[in-house]
């Protein structure tokens, strides 16, 4: 008997992330491409990495390093990471039990959250916040507790009294980010002391997003959790080779954490991505033998920051401090009264310079009249953007 013909039907799916759509970075980059705009929105360089790094990866591929590596990462790379952390921050991790190579920093952040946050656990998130934090907390069944940074002419700061007030017996994790995306602010020693005072005597863990660790300016030092044994003992510290070596598309990062925390992290990591691109790990391990590339990074990006800031000083934009990262936040109230998202779209389509609205980094849109530019670009790219921005 012939069955009646019915078109194929895709069953309905209940979303695990019903509030998540296409990211603002994707939308603005697409609009920039369609408009022929200079893309100072999404945070990636428009210049190449050092040829020596590409050569080392090529040698690794030709040398046969093309199969699965160890789940935790190539031993030589983990050893190089340990040596770097010890040299810079004075903290000695164990390469075998406390360092895990990840598929970029976002995988590291998500895996850290999934391994320690259980349903109904509270996670303190300081806003504005990088956009991967809240979806990862949602996937874990956690409850985000939001504390907003204050902002004035002196820049963004964490109100530690409000962070302390947000702690409850259900608080499992606090996420900190320094140098901070999107604001360009950096935590100082006093900030870490305030954080230590909050977590002391609790079971709270710390997830420290330090992917811009080598981009701190004006002679300041990066205050890593690794510098403070009391904080390192309860921290997942995340960094990114993509940010440090101008290879964001390689998606290689790492997590440093005490052995007990790393063991749980690796349980999730092995069933998430299992392992990370083998020849790139070997190439990075060889490249790290010379510390000069990351030692020179602050001066390299400070020159770009200063060029961009100097170019905007005579404009109608109001510059906020940019102490770290490769981002510059500006107020635009003397130019427009549009909400941030609409102003960023207008700037991209009409002025031909793409920016990111800082309101996109809040769970509920917070209008401050501020947008973010990325200055990790060639000088000629920045010059063209400045020519257009100063015409306003």
Which pLDDT tens digit goes with each residue over 159-188? 999 999 999 999 999 999 999 999 999 999
Q: Determine, yes or no, domain membership for 10.
A: no
Q: Which of 180, 174, 154 is nearest to 162 (CA)?
A: 174
pLDDT at 1 over 60: no
Instruction: Report helix angle 259-272 to 104-116, nearest 10.
Output: 110
CB-count exposure of residue 89 (10 Å: 0-12, 13-18, 19+) = buried
> Does residue 188 sit in the same domain as residue 324?
no
> Does residue 179 sit in the same domain as residue 318?
no
Stretch 189-200: mean pLDDT = 98
> Does residue 266 sit in the same domain as residue 325?
no
Between CA 127 and CA 257, with CA 298 as vertex, the angle to 5 degrees is 55
From first CA to last CA, the distance across the chain in angstroms is 73
CA distance 82 to 78: 6
Buried b (16+ CB within 10 A) or exposed e, 42-65: bbbbeeebeeebeebbeebeeeeb
Of 293, 316, 346, at which residue does a domain stop?
Answer: 293
> Does residue 119 sit in the same domain as residue 104?
yes
> Does residue 271 sit in the same domain as residue 383?
no
Q: For the chain, what is the domain count? A: 2
pLDDT number for residue 6: 82
- At 286, which helix (H) or strand (E)? helix 278-287
Number of H helices, E strands in the chain: 15, 15
pLDDT at 314 over 90: no
Q: What is the CATH number of the domain that holds 354?
A: 3.90.1150.10
User: Domain range holding 367?
Assistant: 24-49+296-389
> Does residue 281 sit in the same domain as residue 329?
no
Least confident span in 12-16, 84-88, 113-117, 361-365: 361-365
> Does residue 115 sit in the same domain as residue 254?
yes
pLDDT at 347 over 80: yes
**Given the DSSP bridges, would you call strands 99-102 and 253-256 parallel, antiparallel or unpaired?**
antiparallel
Residue 216 DSSP class: B
Q: Determine, yes or no, domain membership for 4.
A: no
């Amino acid at each position: 008997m012939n069955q009646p013909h019915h078109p194929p039907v895709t069953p309905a799916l209940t979303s695990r992330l019903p509030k998540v759509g296409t990211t603002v970075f994707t939308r603005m980059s697409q609009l920039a491409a369609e408009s022929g705009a200079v893309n100072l929105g999404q945070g990636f360089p428009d210049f190449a990495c050092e040829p020596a790094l590409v050569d080392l990866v090529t040698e690794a591929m030709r040398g046969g390093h093309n199969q699965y590596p160890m789940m935790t990462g190539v031993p030589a790379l983990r050893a190089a990471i340990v040596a770097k952390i010890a040299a810079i921050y004075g903290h000695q991790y164990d390469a075998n039990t406390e360092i895990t190579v990840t598929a970029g920093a976002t995988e590291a952040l998500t895996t850290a959250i999934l391994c320690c946050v259980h349903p109904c656990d509270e996670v303190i998130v300081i806003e504005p916040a990088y956009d991967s934090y809240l979806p990862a907390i949602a996937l874990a069944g956690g409850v985000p507790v939001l504390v907003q940074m204050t902002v004035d002419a002196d820049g963004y700061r964490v109100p530690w009294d409000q962070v302390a007030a947000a702690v409850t017996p259900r608080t499992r994790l606090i996420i900190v980010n320094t140098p901070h995306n999107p604001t360009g602010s950096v935590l100082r020693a006093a900030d870490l002391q305030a954080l230590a005072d909050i977590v002391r005597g609790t079971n709270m863990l710390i997830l420290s997003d330090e992917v811009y660790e080598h981009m701190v300016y004006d002679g300041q030092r990066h205050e890593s959790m690794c510098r403070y044994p009391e904080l390192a003992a309860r921290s997942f510290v995340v960094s990114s080779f993509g940010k440090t070596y101008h290879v964001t598309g390689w998606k290689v990062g790492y997590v440093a954490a005490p052995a007990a925390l790393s063991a749980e992290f690796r349980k999730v990591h092995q069933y998430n991505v299992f392992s990370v691109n083998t020849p790139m790990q070997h190439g990075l391990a060889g490249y790290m033998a010379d510390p000069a590339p990351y030692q020179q990074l602050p001066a390299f990006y400070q020159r770009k920051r200063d060029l961009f800031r100097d170019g905007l000083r005579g404009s109608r934009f109001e510059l906020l401090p940019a102490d770290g990262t490769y981002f510059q936040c500006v107020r635009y109230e003397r130019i427009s009264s549009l909400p941030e998202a609409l102003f960023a779209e207008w700037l991209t389509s009409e002025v031909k310079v793409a920016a990111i609205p800082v309101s996109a980094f809040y769970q509920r849109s917070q209008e401050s009249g501020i947008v973010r530019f990325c200055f990790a670009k060639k000088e000629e790219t920045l010059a063209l953007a400045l020519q257009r921005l100063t015409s306003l």
